[in-house]
Amino acid sequence: MTPATRLDLDPDQAPEPATGSWLERRLPVGRALRREYRDYPLPRNLNALWFFGAFAVVTLAAMIVTGICLALHYTPTEAGAFDSVEAIIRRVPSGWILRSVHMAGASCFFAVLYVHIFRGLYYGSYKAPREVLWLSGFVALLMVMATAFFGYVLPWGQMSYWGAVVVGNAVAAIPLIGHPLAGMLLGGDAPGAATPMRFFVLHMLCGGLICAVLFIHIAALHVTGSNNPAGIEPRSPADTLPMHPFYTTKDGVGLCLFLAVLLGLAFLAPALLTEADNYLPANPLLTPPDITPEWYFTPFYALLRSVPSRLGGLLLAGAALAVVAAVP
């Protein structure tokens, strides 16, 4: 019998390089990363719609980094929230860039998530055996929506304040637990002194939970494998390609284009997707003529306002999300 070559060996049993081999034998992180990312097999026929999952991960990383930098200068009080955001823009070195990237990143994050969901629906990514993958993605979507809402209130502008009022009233419409829950959320019967601190804590907490759910989502993907446009599961190694260099190269090209759009919004049109009223400090005595949410909340806001009953609108919005969860 001839000795086995390196190519004949199981990748998990291949000898490790001398450098770091002691650590690899005790904590094989490098081996796991190579198996789950560099050498991870993907179907040969994935199209550009599969890029958007990677776009979402990169955008989330950018949001976390810029969010931490902004949090270092933010004052979560009723009196100081709006002024601290203005100070970030005008006095903190590169603060306007951080806030612009964070704001544009929120819109881009939802855009890529919605495309990612559309791709999953169109190509049947929810079908067996990928139910856990779909449901974990749905939970991640809920966490992202909650995080975005909490973050939207933090600047404490006119739209931020009245957006909190609208959501607080909707929550209060829930039978039995609505009023206590709204009071816990807002810190009172209406947004007030306690609201910025509570929303700041919830914004940071939900950001961490998104990372945890994303880890579960990726783990579920690597257990079942990715589906593909043809809907035919790979049956042999000849039907797949390793993630690197084939898909990292393709994703890299798409990522460059995506980052160009993100940075273009941040540098050239930071206020394009934001209501002008939110550059005015919150005034509980002056209701804006038109309370308009961010574009990514527009469908759910329309459902909330589509019926006279607050509870009915809340049930409609919840039913729309429940349909997505029930697809499998």
Per-residue pLDDT of 17-55, as tens digits, reads 555 688 888 888 888 888 888 999 999 999 999 999 999
pTM passes above 0.85? yes
Is the pLDDT reported for residue 135 higher than 50? Answer: yes
pLDDT in tens, 304-323: 889 888 899 999 999 999 99
Q: Give the pLDDT confidence score for residue 6 in this predicted structure.
A: 36
Paired tokens of 86: 């203005």
pLDDT at 13 (0 to 100): 52
Which of the following is catalytic: 107, 125, 136, 226? 226
Q: Mean pLDDT throughout 180-206?
A: 96
DSSP 234: -
**Nearest Cα residue to 210 out of 126, 151, 258:** 151
In a domain, 102, yes or no: yes
Question: Would you say residue 274 has pLDDT above 80?
Answer: yes
- Within 10 Å of residue 137's Cβ, how many Cβ atoms? 26
Helix 248-268 to helix 95-122 angle, to the nearest 10 degrees?
Answer: 130
Give 182: exposed, middle or buried? Use CB within 10 Å, 0-12, 13-18, 19+.
buried
How much of the chain exceeds pLDDT 90, in percent? 79
* Catalytic residue status for 86: no
Q: Is 73 one of the annotated active-site residues of the chain?
A: no
Is the separation of the CB atoms in 81 and 74 below 8 Å? yes
- pLDDT for residue 15 is more than 80: no
Q: Which entry of 78, 251, 275, 277 is annotated as an active-site residue?
A: 251
The residue-averaged pLDDT of 221-230 equals 92
Q: Which residues, including other chains, have CB under 8 Å from residue 12's CB and lie 6 or more apart? A: 31, 35
Looking up residue 277, the CATH number of its domain turns out to be 1.20.810.10
Angle at 256 between CA 253 and CA 259, to 5 degrees: 150
| Annotated catalytic residue within 78, 275, 277, 294 | 294
Q: How many domains does the chain have?
A: 1
In the chain the first and final C-alpha atoms are separated, in Å, by 50
> What is the model's pLDDT at position 147?
98
Q: Is residue 53 part of a domain?
A: yes
**Per the structure block, which two tokens stand in for 159?**
């739209």
pLDDT at 273: 83
162-189 mean pLDDT: 94
Does residue 1 fall inside a structural domain?
A: no
Residues 6+ apart with CB under 8 A from 192: 78, 186
The per-residue pLDDT for 112 is 97
* Residue 283, phi-psi category: left (phi > 0), alpha (psi -120 to 50), beta (remainder): beta
Supply the mean pLDDT for the chain.
Answer: 91
Q: Where are the beta strands (DSSP E) in the chain?
A: 41-43, 240-242
pLDDT of 29: 86
| Predicted local confidence at residue 180, as pLDDT | 95
The residue annotated as part of the active site, out of 16, 222, 239, 244, is: 222
Is 62 a domain residue?
yes
* Whether residue 222 lies in the annotated active site: yes
**251 belongs to the catalytic site:** yes
Which has the higher per-residue pLDDT, 262 or 5? 262
Q: What is the pLDDT of residues 76-90, one digit of tens each?
A: 999 999 999 999 999
Q: Is residue 105 part of a domain?
A: yes
Residue 308 lies in a domain: no
**Is 16 designated active site?**
no
> Which residue of the set 250, 275, 290, 309 is catalytic?
250
pLDDT grade for 272, boundaries at 50, 70 and 90: confident
Mean pLDDT for the stretch of residues 231-253: 90
| Contact (Cβ atoms closer than 8 angstroms) between residue 243 and residue 155 | no
Q: Which domain holds residue 78?
A: 47-229+242-291
The residue type found at 198 is R
In a domain, 187, yes or no: yes
Look at residue 223 in the predicted model and tell me its pLDDT: 94
pLDDT above 80: residue 284: yes
Please report, to the nearest 10 degrees, the dihedral formed by the alpha carbons of residues 94, 99, 100, 104 taken in order. Answer: 150
Please check whether residue 227 is in contact with residue 69, taking contact to mean a CB–CB distance below 8 angstroms.
Answer: no
* Residue 281 located in a structural domain: yes
Q: Among 18-22, 202-206, 293-297, 303-307, which stretch is predicted with the lowest mean pLDDT?
A: 18-22
DSSP, collapsed to helix, strand or coil, labels residue 190 as coil
